[in-house]
Amino acid sequence: MKLTGAEIVVACLKEQEVDTVFGYPGGTILNVYDALYKHSDEIRHILTSHEQGAAHAADGYARATGKVGVCLATSGPGATNLVTGIATAYMDSVPMVAITCNVNLPLLGKDSFQEVDIAGVTMPITKHGYIVKDVSILADTIRKAFAIARSGRPGPVLVDITKDVTAAQFEYQEKKPEALPVKKKYEEEDIEKAVALMKEAKKPYIYVGGGAVISGAYQEVRKLSGLLDAPVCDTLMAKGVMDGHSDYYTGMIGMHGTKTSNFGVSECDLLVALGARFSDRVVGNASAFAKNAKVLHIDIDAAEINKNIHSDAFVVGDLKEVLTKINEKLPEQEHPEWIAHIKELKEKYPLSYDHSVLSCPYIMEEIDKATEGKAIITTDVGQHQMWAAQYYKYSEPRTFLSSGGLGTMGYGLGACIGAKCGRPEKICINIGGDGCFRMNMNELATASRYQIPIIQVVINNHVLGMVRQWQTLFYEKRYSQTVLDDGVDFCMVAKGLGCEAFRVTTKEEFDEAIRKAIELKKPVVLDCMIGEDDKVFPMVPAGAPISEAFDASDMEA
């Protein structure tokens, strides 16, 4: 049957079983929005307050569900407003398709009104980008975009369509989604070498990255830790792969990782890296990282092997598939002395904070209790992000959504809305600092418009907390442009945007407020006042070995 290009876009979204899209209309994409109007009973459109919010919402939807997130924008500034969200998804390997429309084909390249080469702009931050100038290739291009976004190491794909293509007609035939052909990247001897290294190890440590979430390998990782009798640390992206209550779990590694993880990895004789990329925030001083260990690296992306840290052995392939094979071949190992040593480190170096006042660690522990550890937690970026990673006990993957690679302030609220749209059965809570919250707090209007019952917790210390922490420790307390004590009333703002709001100044007030927020089942803001000089510990100075992690007690000493 003959359809317009705009109708083909919608038909292809239905082929891919897309149920929710996030976006903002404009002149060049009007035909697509007209087609969406006719299919509003099949595809839910969430009108965000800003295109960046749409990109973050699509990202949050994708991370929470494992499906491809979709965002839409018009040409020019609409398209460029997606860029930060696309880059955020790219850095954290999130499957997303961003559909933009551009000026008519004859106007391309002539500096036309609201024209921008968005495919060129986003080339470095997408897995692939298309500009569609011919309606005959539109359907296949959109299909390829979804296949590329979800295949291998996932990531965002951009499809830019000229407006005249959305109006032109072409014969459309429905097709079922097809996966891209996957070539087996590893040989059986790679598996054998990995198993041999594990059998030789006396002090093995498992380091888990976001690839374990993406591949759905959390059960395989947990099984491996038992078979190998090895402690497990994780990155920000891997929260929930290991149950936070497990005896084998030692917490996060890196700049704000636990002393147990940082010291343990520094002492181990085999480091098994699973779906991780050895980020600088994990590794610190690369020349001193895990210097006593052989490194076994398993990752789907061959480009990550030996990129930041040299591997003694590696397996390039899907983590779930590779670990299934390893777990079949690996006999049960025992390392009682090593495990006892790690247990001693955990007892000697627990995470700690001042229990006498309201603080973010306390808030995270109370949220954990109030939600029985089953909520989806999204975060912005800064101190609160680290506290949210440290003090909430994640027991399943896809329940901690945060901008790890790009570190995008303002990410969390849009992502929380997207997560709630994708997983409506879950309590979804965004943890944001006051600096981050003011960047994209306009998305409260989105939550209010659709009555999406998310909870926004503002960790309000009236400063840019993480930057201030660095200024305190390394810049002799020169607080250049980090004080935010300007009289902004977030509760009034929230109520003005149609949400409930509560100001919290004590532990008792927070306990009552979080339970009330959960019961209300509507968008709620909790404005929580904490000390301006609260610090995230442990900490590793930039470029230092992770074995030099220090905390407040070390500073006092």
In the residue annotation, 242 being an active-site residue is answered as no
Q: In what order do the strands lie in the sheet with 294-299?
A: 249-252, 232-234, 204-208, 270-274, 294-299, 313-316
- The residue annotated as part of the active site, out of 466, 490, 529, 539, is 466
- Spot the catalytic one: 113, 291, 516, 521: 113
Q: At 51, is the pLDDT very low, low, confident or very high (cuts 50, 70, 90)?
A: very high
Q: Over the stretch 359-397, which tens digit does the pLDDT of each residue have?
A: 999 999 999 999 999 999 999 999 999 999 999 999 999
Q: Which homologous superfamily is 360-544 in? A: Thiamin diphosphate (ThDP)-binding fold, Pyr/PP domains (3.40.50.970)
- Quick check: 556 pLDDT over 80? yes
Annotation says 171 is catalytic: no
For 92-126, the pLDDT digits (tens) are: 999 999 999 999 999 999 999 999 999 999 999 99
Phi, psi of 99 (to 5 degrees): -105, 120
236 pLDDT band, cuts 50/70/90, is very high
- Of 51, 267, 304, 443, which is the active-site residue? 51
pLDDT of residue 72: 99
The answer for 237, left when phi > 0, alpha when psi is -120 to 50, beta otherwise, is alpha
360-544 matches 2-171 in CATH topology: yes
CA 124/CA 90 separation, integer angstroms: 9
Question: pTM of the full predicted structure?
Answer: 0.97
Convert 158-182 to b/e letters by CB count within 10 Å (16 or more is b): bbbbbbbbbebebebeeeeeeeeee
Burial track 274-283 (b if 16+ CB lie within 10 A, e otherwise): bbbbbbebbb
Q: What pLDDT was estimated at residue 239? A: 98
So where are the chain's domains?
A: 2-171, 188-348, 360-544
Q: Is the pLDDT reported for residue 312 higher than 80? A: yes
Spot the catalytic one: 14, 15, 67, 114: 114
Active-site residue 51, yes or no? Answer: yes
Beta strands at 96-102 and 69-73: parallel, antiparallel or unpaired: parallel
What would be the CATH architecture of the domain defined by 2-171? 3-Layer(aba) Sandwich (3.40)
Tens digit of each residue's pLDDT (9 = 90 or more) over 143-200: 999 999 999 999 999 999 999 999 999 999 999 998 888 777 899 999 999 999 999 9
Mean pLDDT of 405-430: 98
Ordered alpha helix ranges (H), 201-318? 211-214, 218-228, 259-267, 280-283
Residue 113: active-site member = yes
Question: What top-level class would CATH report for the domain 188-348?
Answer: alpha beta
Helix (H) or strand (E) holding 337: helix 336-348
Catalytic residue check, 439: no
Instruction: Mark residue 224 as left, alpha or beta (left: phi above 0; alpha: psi -120 to 50; beta: remaining).
Output: alpha
